[in-house]
Amino acid sequence: MITPQTKAIIVNNPSNPTGAAYTPDEIREIGAVLAEHDLWVISDEIYEKLRYDGEEHLSFAQVDGLFDQTIVINGVSKAFAMTGWRIGYLAAVPALVKAVTKLQSQMTSSCCSISQKAAIVAIQNGEDETMKTMIAAFAKRCEMVVEALNQMDGVTCPKPEGAFYAFPDISAFLGKSVNGKRIDNSIDLCQWLLEEKHIALVPGAAFGAEGFIRISFAASDEDLKTGLQRLKEGLAELK
Ligand X SMILES: Cc1ncc(COP(=O)(O)O)c(C=O)c1O
Positions that interact with ligand X (CB under 6 A): 12, 16, 44, 46, 75, 77, 83, 88
Between CA 14 and CA 104 the distance in angstroms is 26
Nearer to ligand X, 24 or 88 (CB): 88
Q: How far is it, in rounded angstroms, from Cα 29 to Cα 40? A: 17
The distance of closest approach from Cβ of residue 152 to ligand X in the complex, given in angstroms and rounded to an integer, is 25
Indicate the residue among 81 and 172 with the shorter CB distance to ligand X: 81
Q: Cα–Cα distance between 5 and 8 in angstroms, integer? A: 9
From the list 99, 69, 58, 92, the residue with the least C-alpha distance to 9 is 69
CA distance 70 to 60: 7
Nearer Cβ to ligand X (86/102): 86
Check: CB of residue 185 under 8 Å from CB of residue 192.
no
Residue nearest to ligand X (CB): 77
| Residue 16 beta carbon to ligand X: minimum distance, rounded to whole angstroms | 4
- Smallest separation (angstroms) from ligand X to the CB of 140: 21
Q: What whole-number distance in Å separates Cα of residue 227 and Cα of residue 213?
A: 14
Q: How far is the CB of 123 from ligand X (least distance, A)?
A: 14
Instruction: CB nearer to ligand X: give 19 or 234.
Output: 19
- Residue 17 CB, nearest approach to ligand X (Å): 8
Nearest CB to ligand X, comparing residues 77 and 191? 77
Rounded-to-integer distance, Cα 83 and Cα 93, Å: 27
